[in-house]
Amino acid sequence: MNTFSCEFSQRLGALHYCEVPAPERKVLEAHIGLCPACAQQMEQLKALTQLFTTSRTAAVPQIILHRFAREVAWAGVLKLARALSCAAAAVLVVSTGWIWYTESADSQSSVPTASLALRTDSSGSSDSNDPVVQALMKEYGRD
Ligand SMILES: [Zn+2]
């Protein structure tokens, strides 16, 4: 029997790669025991798989393996870059919220505190001659 004329020959590859459900597998295995053409095709599939698994590194040129490894590495780098971009966006959002929160809190509380500190400094201490203190005093309206 010619393998191309056998109705089961189309499913031998799937059987070889364990891609058929158990009931179909039993039917195919029983058929292989009775059909020399399918048995021969299964033997060829096994021999081909054996050839690829035993001589994989010798059969595939190193440049192809190198390119494949580079592609896989780039896929990993791109995945990492996406994750870092998401993390950076999250940090940006949190930082913006924190700055907004502290700015609104500063506009209510820190200016009077600074004024109080400058007022304390301007009451005769030697720090009032400090240019930084003078600039701050000028900024907040204390001369
Ligand atoms: Zn057959």
Output the CA 64–ligand 1 centroid distance in Å: 37
Query: Is the CA virtual torsion 6, 33, 23, 41 positive or negative?
Result: negative
Distances 78 to 3, 67, 82, 87, 91 between C-alpha atoms, Å: 46, 16, 6, 14, 20
13-60 residue pLDDT tens? 999 999 999 999 999 999 999 999 999 999 999 998 888 777 756 556
The predicted structure's pLDDT at residue 103:
85
Name the helix (H) or strand (E) containing 123: none
pLDDT by residue (tens digit) across 87-135?
888 888 888 888 888 888 776 655 555 555 555 555 555 556 788 878 8
Q: Rounded to two decimals, what is the model's pTM?
A: 0.38
- For ligand 1, the distance from its centroid to the CA atom of residue 12, given in whole angstroms, is 9
